[in-house]
Structure 1
Amino acid sequence: MSHARSEYTDFQSLAPDAFSAVRALSAIAAKAGLDKQLLELIKIRASQINGCAFCLQYHILQAEALGLAEDKINLVAVWREAPQFSPRERAALAWTEALTVLPNGVSDEVFAQANAEFGEKELMYLTSAVAAINTWNRFGAAYRWTPPARQKASAAAS
């Protein structure tokens, strides 16, 4: 069993400027109008790939609070095999995986699919959301932040 090396609140108190910058980046895509449920799906998927227990639990709780269908939350790890996901969600999840696992690069096919579903401007904002969750994952996984309890989700990172 791993133990926390530091906690989420330590990041906020020890490096408030870095914390504020990551938090601001996290908010941009939603402010630009991207669907909040879609954004939670990509945050869940990136957190699964990166092994960040804190972020995974936090974004599952956020997705539930937003009313995201339970089957989508449960099946996001195997989204390619599950019929519940729309073409737009599939494009976002493929884009998220490509940007999260960069050694594989971003294929022309994944780019074309994402660009067709989102267009140039929305895709830039989607990319910012993927970049933000990957940044949070780096902190959460490195410091082994304790996953939030259900009642505390609203006070944690976005």
Structure 2
Amino acid sequence: MDYKAISKETVGFLYQSHASIRKSGLDNKLVALVELRVSQLNGCAYCCSFHNTELRQMGFSQDALDKLPGWKHSKAFDHQQQLVLLWAEAITLMRDDLQPIREMLEQQFTQKEIVELTASISLMNALNRLRITLGEKD
């Protein structure tokens, strides 16, 4: 189903939100990293491929990207990257420990950055679900 064409305005607003997040001042490498991790958790093949390519173009090594599913057991990611990955997983899986993770985020990021990061994770979950349930298989 061509859901983008069927609901141009609604889906268009989602993509406008994505563009806004990318212009928000939050490090786009962190945004793309959480977008890839969320897509991995949700199993969106198209988005995984897209964000893998994007991250390589941003300078991430293939070795680091290969280790992303096991990031908790890898030295490939710095503290800030680990923190946003933890937040992405907690939101995507709706874990019970959101508050302590948010408190850790508040030590590293501004309130605006936390809002933008959280919006990015939430939006990627929505886009993954649209693609998986209504899009063509890749």
TM-score by length of 1: 0.81
Deviation (angstroms), 1:108: 2.7
> Which residue matches 2:132?
141
Shift of residue 144 of structure 1? 4.7
Kindly indicate whether the alpha-carbon contact (under 8 Å) linking 2:91 and 2:98 is maintained by their aligned counterparts in 1.
Answer: no
Q: CA deviation at 1:143?
A: 2.6
Q: How far does residue 19 in structure 1 lie from its aligned partner after superposition?
A: 1.6
**Residue in 2 aligned with 1:30?**
22
CA-based RMSD of the aligned residues comes to 1.5
User: How far does residue 132 in structure 1 lie from its aligned partner after superposition?
Assistant: 1.3
After TM superposition, give the deviation of residue 29 of structure 1 in Å.
Answer: 2.1
Q: Distance in 1 between matches of 2:71 and 2:24?
A: 25
- Please identify, of 22-31 and 76-85, the stretch whose mean Cα deviation from structure 2 is larger: 22-31
Task: Find the counterpart in structure 1 of residue 51 from structure 2.
Answer: 59
Cα distance, 1:64–1:123 mapped onto 2, change above 3 Å: same
Counterpart check, 1:11 vs 2:11:
no
Q: Find the aligned partners of 1:123 and 1:105 in 2 and give their Cα distance.
A: 18
Cα deviation for residue 117 of structure 1 reads 1.6
Q: One-letter code of the match for 1:87?
A: H
Q: 2:3·2:134 contact (CA, 8 Å) conserved in 1?
A: no
CA distance in 2, matches of 1:105, 1:46: 17
CA distance in 2, matches of 1:95, 1:134: 13
Write the distance in 2 (CA, Å) between the matches of 1:129 and 1:28: 10
> Is there any run of 5+ residues in structure 2 with no aligned partner, and where?
none
- 1:109 is matched with 100
User: 2: distance between equivalents of 1:49 and 1:134?
Assistant: 9
Q: Give aligned pairs, total.
A: 138
> Match of 1:36, as an amino acid?
N
Please tell me the residue identity of whatever aligns with 1:143: L
2:78 matched residue in structure 1: 86
Gap runs ≥5 in structure 1:
1-5, 148-158
Identity %: 25
Aligned-partner SS, 1:84: coil
| Matched residue type, 2:45 | A
Matched, 1:125 2:116: yes
